[in-house]
Amino acid sequence: MGFRSTVPAFGKKVIIEARVNEYMPRDVNPNVPFTPDEIVEAAVACREAGAAICHYHARNPDGSPNHDPETYIETIRKLRAASDILINPTLGQVTLKSSDEARLQHIVSASREPGLTPDFAPIDIGSTNVDVYDPAAKTMRTDTLAYVNTPKTCAYFARRMREVGVKPVAVSWTIPFTRMFEAFLEMGLLDQPAYLLFALSDSGYLGGHPGTIKGLLSHLEYLPQGFRYEWSVNSKVGNLFGPAALALEMGGHVAIGLGDYPYPELGTPTNADLVRRIAEHAEAFGRAPASPAETRALLGMS
């Protein structure tokens, strides 16, 4: 009698992306990194714990958003000196209402510095409202935050990123985002294997699917067929461990960090603590963390 794992993805390496800070405050968890040095320290620890990619937002020492390309470049320079972790800076998006060119400015600027081209940058491939609802107070905390990304804008980002050698992370909040991702693959605007990230949303953020296994499952029913890509999942302001289990089972990847959710369930964990838990959970599914080099191979990055 032989046993055989029922995990479809048994043996496949898992890409763990550490989403270290976003614009999360420190009031619930003091381990959210703000400055370039803090981001580097967190990223190095995450790399040791199993992460292959670091996603970060540049912030001022007081935690407020910092949109200066120089701060992004300083962070990349220090990250590259300290670690082989792959680098995925954010774009200027909800917090920076500006032109397509301006939203990509820090990525393009960094790519002009020798050795400092970011490995990835995200493209949110659709539009949705990202306002926050407070169910306890029965009121909207914000009510005008339409997060608008037209196909024209997304195509611009994809072309410019290809020109400067940055791999896009196509981010899908709803099923129409995934349909547009498929159209972009058909139009040849994204190189294959592509990288697709499902952004679930919770804690009153209503712009994505709920941050549950069911919420991710509804996305997976619309995975494009006939194209090569890897997919991952994160949960904005929600506990990711449910959806992460589905990703581990189904051959997806995992993007977790204090930027998305401070994990008070675990006390005040660090980003590396979260990465380590995912790596350990992955082991039970027969999946080991992909190194940065293995991640580049999975995603066809030269």
What is the contact surface with a copy of itself in residues (CB under 8 A)?
Answer: 126-129, 131, 133, 135, 138-140, 143-152, 155, 173-176, 179-180, 183, 186-188, 201, 206-210, 214-215, 218, 221-222
Shorter beta-carbon distance to a copy of itself: residue 183 or 297? 183
Shorter beta-carbon distance to a copy of itself: residue 238 or 292? 238
Q: Do 186 and 176 contact (CB within 8 A), yes or no?
A: no
- 258 vs 69: CA distance, rounded Å: 23
Shorter beta-carbon distance to a copy of itself: residue 68 or 186? 186
Closest of 63, 56, 30, 51 to residue 269, by C-alpha: 30
Q: Do 197 and 255 contact (CB within 8 A), yes or no?
A: yes
Least Cβ distance, residue 253 to a copy of itself (angstroms): 22
Shorter beta-carbon distance to a copy of itself: residue 218 or 291? 218
Least Cβ distance, residue 209 to a copy of itself (angstroms): 5
135 upstream amide cis, omega within 30 of 0: no
